[in-house]
């Protein structure tokens, strides 16, 4: 295999990716995306848009998805730390409604591949976090959907440890997964 290690999660198609990091006294170098390595690992998609956000501690973004233009995403943290979550929304999937969460940070340099038809969100654990992600479709603002972050049927265990959570107005109002059906 190339310069990445791909780890399966309990949800089919959802992967944690660790790049090979070359370090010396000057710092480090790593490839964050190489189409040949990803294809060899069975992740064969074309990314068409890169995004970056910056958020402060306690910001919870999500759980978001695109309705008619679903996107595969490759996400990572370049500064700070987040708890990143993907919820399976694939019709007929044996893990429909289940989630997987992982800590992504500038220290662990892990990436998270989230396939189409998953809801996605993250909680900022550090004082500040910069989050980047690649998408396989352009953003369509009138095509956005979401699930409320605390849907009891999904049961996400957000590691908020008493921190004050900060939401956008729309993220406070998303329906539950049952209400979407």
- Establish whether 64 is a catalytic residue: yes
Q: Which of 33, 64, 69, 96 is catalytic?
A: 64
- Establish whether 83 is a catalytic residue: no
Whether 37 and 2 have beta carbons less than 8 Å apart is answered as yes
Q: Which of 133, 139, 140, 149 is catalytic?
A: 133
Indicate if the alpha-carbon torsion angle 173, 154, 179, 121 is positive or negative.
positive
Radius of gyration of the chain (CA): 16
How far apart, in whole angstroms, are the C-alpha atoms of residue 16 and residue 18? 7
How far apart, in whole angstroms, are the C-alpha atoms of residue 47 and residue 109? 20
Dihedral pair phi/psi, residue 170, rounded to 5°: -70, -35
Catalytic residues: 64, 133
């Amino acid at each position: 295999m190339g310069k990445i290690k791909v780890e399966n999660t309990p949800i089919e198609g959802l992967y944690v990716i660790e790049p090979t990091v070359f370090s010396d006294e000057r710092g480090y170098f790593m490839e964050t995306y190489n189409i040949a390595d990803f294809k060899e690992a069975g992740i064969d998609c074309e990314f068409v848009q890169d995004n970056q956000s910056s958020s402060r501690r306690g910001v919870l973004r999500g759980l978001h998805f695109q309705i008619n233009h679903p996107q595969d995403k490759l996400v990572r943290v370049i500064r700070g730390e987040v708890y990143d979550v993907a919820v399976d929304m694939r019709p007929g999937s044996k893990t429909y409604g289940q989630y997987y969460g992982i800590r992504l940070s500038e220290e662990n340099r892990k990436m998270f591949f989230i396939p189409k038809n998953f809801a996605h969100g993250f909680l900022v654990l550090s004082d500040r976090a910069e989050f980047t992600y690649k998408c396989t479709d352009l953003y369509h603002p009138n095509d956005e959907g979401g699930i409320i972050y605390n849907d009891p049927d999904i049961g996400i265990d957000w590691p908020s440890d008493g921190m004050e959570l900060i939401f956008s107005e729309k993220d406070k109002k998303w329906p539950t997964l049952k209400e979407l059906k």
